[in-house]
């Protein structure tokens, strides 16, 4: 696979201070200011969600001819949809957040402030976190997926999708950001403290993306087509969900997505300012260190059949269920303990109130024991080789990746 | 498609990977006139800057609260807050109270009875009467 040269993209993502040579944000702000000087209240926080065109509220120079002008009709001080980069240096909240996360000092506060501005708050791509979130999201999902694949090499694809969602899905990232102590601003605007997360909030009772048209990016987007697992790997996102084709970045969005974009943007910003290794460490410390009970992600439909197919594929002997112990067979609370044997090897055991139930549980236990095989928690992952340390003196040893679940 | 994945979220374990200090903000309220704020005013003048630079992850705000006793109020990540009245305290005692608020988790105080609290499964497992030979009566 061709390697992406992300460092070539990064020019537009750097801080105001470093990017002055190339794109001159000051000029951008001056243009905005010039535009705003002709308009009144066009970018105030109350109208930020609507983004009216400048022609709507033109104030003419011959104001003296209008006797009934009120104070609000006079051109106000030009304001922007998000706080100025210079405001970031004076925000105690932002500096505290920067220190709390242990982010390298190389990442300036202005960029940190930019990660908190959602495209729904400021549509200008140089002042919102859309590009940083795109970059950080792919870095995070790369590290999470390589860690999951190397740590649990036999996970079925559906469970792998679920595990990826559990570690890096929007719900989890929202929890992460809340555990970092990030709060949301009531409404975006220039006057907002740069340490608050700014986005246009979805009104209560409205559904996100309800009136969105255009379907998904999948070529087989008809509703009656079957979405197989292999096609999800190719066409869909890292959680196996279809990617919507048209997405208006400026529409209001739920807090969950705004929080997750912020977390991704922080990772992207660390990558750009400090490099790949600190970004990986950050993902490890904040995302991969979280606790997930992996056996709880499985849901089997036909465990007995699946186990027999698995044994067949792997060349094990046909699995046989045997009663290990039982009590109160004729009472109200019988308990049977059943073990599943393949030849002389016990694959798993389970207990239940009936023989059938105990057998099913034993099959589930055996399947989980197979699928959840792990060589250990600190398995070398491919990205270890990119850092100078590598995988020790021995060099890279290919990791074992199993062929996955049984298909029958 | 036989085995399905169930969508869940991971649980945070603060301190296992990264450690996030739970106190996110400290408000210092003082009075210029009242004598009970004497120690607090001295603390703000002489000690607070050092305290703030030693704890960069805490947002610190100072505001007057005229004709009232001085108060330190801590805001925590879990949404709760704790306030300590520091009337008539010496600057060093005020510093102790500020450190107490800094180190608090923000949870309600409760007595810890079990030495270990864990979300991981027990390594030993739960005792079962149906395993391990059994006792013959």
pLDDT at A374: 93
Q: Does the distance separating the beta carbons of A156 and B3 come in below 8 Å?
A: yes
How far A35 CA lies from chain B's nearest CA (Å)?
36
Determine whether the interchain pair B2/A408 forms a contact, defined as Cβ–Cβ distance below 8 Å.
Answer: yes
Sketch the domain layout of chain A as residue ranges.
Answer: 81-212+247-294, 302-387+396-408
pTM: predicted TM-score of the whole model, two decimal places: 0.83
pLDDT number for residue B135: 66
User: CA of A103, closest CA in chain B: separation in Å?
Assistant: 11
Closest approach of A66 to chain B, Cα-based (Å): 45
Domain containing B97 equals: 35-103
CATH architecture, domain defined by A302-387+396-408 = 2-Layer Sandwich (3.30)
In a domain, B28, yes or no: no
Whole-number Å distance between alpha carbons of B116 and B123: 13
Domain of B93, CATH number, reads 3.40.30.10
Q: What is the pLDDT of residues A29-74, one digit of tens each?
A: 444 544 444 443 344 444 444 444 444 444 444 444 455 555 556 6
Question: Which residues in chain A (16-55) have CB-CB distances under 8 A to chain B?
Answer: none
> Are A83 and A190 contacting, i.e. CB atoms less than 8 angstroms apart?
yes
Domain A81-212+247-294 CATH (choose: 3.40.50.970, 3.40.50.620, 1.10.220.70, 1.10.1520.10)? 1.10.1520.10
At B52, phi and psi to the nearest 5? -70, -40
Q: Is residue B59 part of a domain?
A: yes
Q: Give the chain A residue nearest B17 (alpha carbons).
A: A285
Please tell me the predicted confidence (pLDDT) of residue B113: 92
Reply yes or no on whether the pLDDT at A254 is more than 60. Answer: yes
A301 in contact with B, Cβ within 8 Å? yes
DSSP string, A209-270: TTT--S-BS-S---TTS---HHHHHHHS-TTSPPPBS---TTS-B-HHHHHHHHHHHHHHHH
Strand-pairing partners, residue A58, are: A39
pLDDT at A21 over 90: no
For B22-52, write each residue's pLDDT tens digit. 999 999 999 999 999 999 999 999 999 999 9
| Average of per-residue pLDDT values in chain B | 92
In what helix (H) or strand (E) does residue B3 lie, and over which residues does it extend?
strand B3-5
- ipTM summary value: 0.92
Residue A137 near residue A287 (C-beta atoms within 8 A): no
**CB neighbourhood size of A207 (10 A):** 9
Q: Is the pLDDT of residue A211 over 70?
A: no
Cβ neighbours of residue B111 closer than 8 Å, sequence gap 6 or more: none
Supply the angle between the helices A157-168 and A130-151 in degrees, to the nearest 10.
130
Asked if residue B120 belongs to a domain, the reply is no
Query: Does the structure show a pLDDT above 90 at A10?
Result: no
pLDDT at A2: 53
Residue B43 domain-assigned (yes or no): yes
pLDDT value at A278 more than 80: yes
Least confident of A7-21, A73-87, A330-344, B87-101: A7-21
Q: Cβ contact (<8 Å) for B5 and A290?
A: no
Classify residue B20: in a domain, yes or no: no
Tell me which chain A residues have a C-beta less than 8 angstroms from the C-beta of B3. 156, 158-159, 298-301, 306, 367, 371, 405
Residue of B nearest to A300 (CA): B3
pLDDT of residue A72: 56
Contact of A281 with chain B, judged by CB distance below 8 Å, is answered with: no
Cβ pairs A/B, distance under 8 A: 133
């Amino acid at each position: 696979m061709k390697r992406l040269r992300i460092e070539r993209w990064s020019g537009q993502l750097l801080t105001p201070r470093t990017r002055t040579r190339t794109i001159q944000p000051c000029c951008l702000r001056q243009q905005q200011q010039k535009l705003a000087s002709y308009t009144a209240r066009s970018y105030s926080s109350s109208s930020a969600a609507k983004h009216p065109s400048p022609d709507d509220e033109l104030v003419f120079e011959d104001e003296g001819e209008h006797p009934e002008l009120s104070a609000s009709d006079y051109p106000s001080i030009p304001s922007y949809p998000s706080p100025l980069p210079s405001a970031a240096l004076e925000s105690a909240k932002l500096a505290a957040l920067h220190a709390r996360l242990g982010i390298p000092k190389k990442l300036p506060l202005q960029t940190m402030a930019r990660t908190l501005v959602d495209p729904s708050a400021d549509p200008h791509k140089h002042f919102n976190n859309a590009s940083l979130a795109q970059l950080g999201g792919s870095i995070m999902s790369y590290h999470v997926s390589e860690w999951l694949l190397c740590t649990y090499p036999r996970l079925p694809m559906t469970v792998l999708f679920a595990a990826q969602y559990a570690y890096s899905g929007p719900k989890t990232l929202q929890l992460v950001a809340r555990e970092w102590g990030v709060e949301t601003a009531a409404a975006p605007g220039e006057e907002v403290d740069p340490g608050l997360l700014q986005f246009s909030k979805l009104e209560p009772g409205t559904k996100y993306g309800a009136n969105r048209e255009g379907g998904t990016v999948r070529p087989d987007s008809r509703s009656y087509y079957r979405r197989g697992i292999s096609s999800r790997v190719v066409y869909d996102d890292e959680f196996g969900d279809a990617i919507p084709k048209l997405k208006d970045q400026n529409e209001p969005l739920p807090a969950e997505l705004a929080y997750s974009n912020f977390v991704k943007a922080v990772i992207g910003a660390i990558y750009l300012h400090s490099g790949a290794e600190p970004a990986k460490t950050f993902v490890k410390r904040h995302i991969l260190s979280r606790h997930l009970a992996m056996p709880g992600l499985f849901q089997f439909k036909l465990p007995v059949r699946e186990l027999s197919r698995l044994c067949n594929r792997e060349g094990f002997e046909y699995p046989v269920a045997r009663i290990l112990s039982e009590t109160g067979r004729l009472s109200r609370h019988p308990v049977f303990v059943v073990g599943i044997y393949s030849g002389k090897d016990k694959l798993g055991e389970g207990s239940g109130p009936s023989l059938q139930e105990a057998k099913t549980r034993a099959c589930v236990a055996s399947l989980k024991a197979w699928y959840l095989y792990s060589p250990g928690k600190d398995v070398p992952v491919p990205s270890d080789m990119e850092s100078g340390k590598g995988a020790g003196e021995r060099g890279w040893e290919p990791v074992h990746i199993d062929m996955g679940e049984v298909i029958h | 498609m036989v085995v399905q994945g169930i969508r869940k979220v991971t649980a945070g374990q603060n301190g296992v990977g990264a450690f996030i200090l739970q106190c996110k903000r400290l408000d210092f309220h003082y009075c210029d006139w009242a004598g009970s704020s004497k120690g607090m005013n001295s603390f703000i003048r002489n000690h607070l800057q050092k305290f703030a630079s030693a704890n960069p992850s805490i947002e610190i705000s100072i505001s007057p609260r005229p004709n009232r006793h001085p108060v330190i109020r801590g805001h925590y990540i879990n949404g709760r807050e704790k306030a300590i009245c520091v009337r008539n305290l010496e600057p060093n005692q005020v510093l102790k109270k500020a450190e107490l608020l800094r180190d608090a988790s923000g949870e309600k105080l409760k007595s810890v009875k079990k030495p270990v609290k864990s979300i991981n499964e027990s390594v030993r497992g739960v005792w079962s009467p149906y395993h391990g030979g059994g006792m013959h009566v």
